[in-house]
Amino acid sequence: MTDKPKIPAIDLKQLQFYYQSGGWQLNLPGLTLHCGQHLFVRGVSGSGKTTLLNLLCGITRPVSGELYVNGQPLHQLSSSARDSLRAKHIGVVFQQLNLIPYLSVLDNTLLSSHFAGQNKTDSVNRAKTLLQRLGLQQDLWHKPATNLSVGQQQRVAIARALLPKPTLLIADEPTSALDSDNRDAFMRVMLAEADANGCTVIFVSHDQSLTQYFHYQLDMQQLATGVQPC
Ligand SMILES: Nc1ncnc2c1ncn2[C@@H]1O[C@H](COP(=O)(O)OP(=O)(O)OP(=O)(O)O)[C@@H](O)[C@H]1O
């Protein structure tokens, strides 16, 4: 009996995207990433890194081409179906973090498990453990997110993204405000959590020193010419 072929975590083919205002275009011939692989993406400012992440997590839809995430055809799904897939399976850390200013650190963290439909008591316990491992101690948990420094907010954002144990984690410059000790702790917690849950990671950063943490690295120029990470 032969093994069933494994479904890639990410599989894109001849993907094209441009904004309504025109001018700039993203053309990606192909990219395949398998479950559990961790990819570091770099590129000069304006090369399309954030646009690529928005496509991969279904916030925007490609103009043409095919984009499969865990076998789901994102290029064919409605906006609400893409939102539902993201809530259940994709953890995202946006460059702007998108924390709710008036909610506490703990409630911001819990939002992801709420949208994923997970058990509240289990989620609260796991959220507290994650926050602690990221160096955010109990005295901060009930403060509004806006009372935190940007580096602390970045750690809340990764805790929120990791909480529901996503199958795909997408992070856009999530460590830009962290000092080196907190950045290293952040990377260790993020990747240990990802490995424990078989989660695929796509991580965008300008910080070249972080490439040591990843299985593969690519720049946007390589992606635009169809270079594969393996
Ligand atoms: N909402 C938008 N409408 C029109 N053009 C946009 C929009 N967002 C980005 N762009 C353009 O698309 C291109 C890619 O932008 P994107 O933000 O993806 O780049 P980036 O590599 O993430 O940049 P940075 O490293 O500075 O964050 C740029 O030329 C940018 O001006």
132 exposed, middle or buried (CB, 10 Å; 0-12, 13-18, 19+)? middle
H-helix or E-strand spanning residue 79:
helix 79-89
State which ligand 1 atom lies nearest to the alpha carbon of 173.
27
Give domain status of residue 191, yes or no: yes
Q: Residue 182's domain spans which residues? A: 10-224
- The answer to whether residues 171 and 17 touch, using CB atoms and an 8 Å cutoff, is no
**pLDDT band, residue 2 (cuts 50/70/90):** low
Residue 215's pLDDT is 93
Nearest-angstrom CA–CA distance, 182 and 51: 27
- Summarised one tens digit per residue, pLDDT across range 179-197 is 998 899 899 999 999 999 9
Residue 6's pLDDT is 84
Q: Running DSSP on this structure, what letter comes out for residue 211?
A: G
**CATH code assigned at 95:** 3.40.50.300
ipTM here: 0.97
Centre of ligand 1 to C-alpha 19, Å, is 9
Give domain status of residue 116, yes or no: yes
Residue 162's pLDDT is 97
The residue whose C-alpha atom lies closest to atom 3 belonging to ligand 1 is: 19
Give domain status of residue 4, yes or no: no
The CA-atom distances, in angstroms, between 90 and each of 59, 85, 135, 138, 211 are: 11, 7, 24, 27, 22
Q: From the CB of 102, is ligand 1 less than 6 Å away?
A: no
Residue 228's pLDDT is 82
Q: Is the pLDDT of residue 174 over 60?
A: yes
Centre of ligand 1 to C-alpha 46, Å, is 5
Give domain status of residue 140, yes or no: yes
The residue whose C-alpha atom lies closest to atom 31 belonging to ligand 1 is: 46
Give domain status of residue 129, yes or no: yes
Give domain status of residue 103, yes or no: yes
Centre of ligand 1 to C-alpha 80, Å, is 24
The residue whose C-alpha atom lies closest to atom 25 belonging to ligand 1 is: 45
Give domain status of residue 125, yes or no: yes
Q: Which two tokens stand for residue 29?
A: 């011939």
Across-strand partners of 217?
40
Q: Domain total for the chain?
A: 1
- Summarised one tens digit per residue, pLDDT across range 105-159 is 999 999 999 999 999 999 999 999 999 999 999 999 999 998 999 999 999 999 9
Phi first, then psi: what are they for 91, rounded to 5°? -95, 135
Q: Is the pLDDT of residue 1 over 70?
A: no
Q: Is the pLDDT of residue 4 over 90?
A: no
Give domain status of residue 229, yes or no: no
Q: Is the pLDDT of residue 5 over 90?
A: no
- Summarised one tens digit per residue, pLDDT across range 54-94 is 999 999 999 999 999 999 999 999 999 999 999 999 999 99
User: Please, what is the end-to-end C-alpha distance for the chain in angstroms?
Assistant: 27
Centre of ligand 1 to C-alpha 207, Å, is 19
The CA-atom distances, in angstroms, between 67 and each of 87, 147, 152, 192, 217 are: 18, 39, 34, 27, 20
State which ligand 1 atom lies nearest to the alpha carbon of 43.
21
Question: Mean pLDDT, the chain, as a whole number?
Answer: 93
Select from 16, 47, 202, 223 the residue to mutate for testing ligand 1; criterion: most ligand atoms less than 8 Å from CB: 47
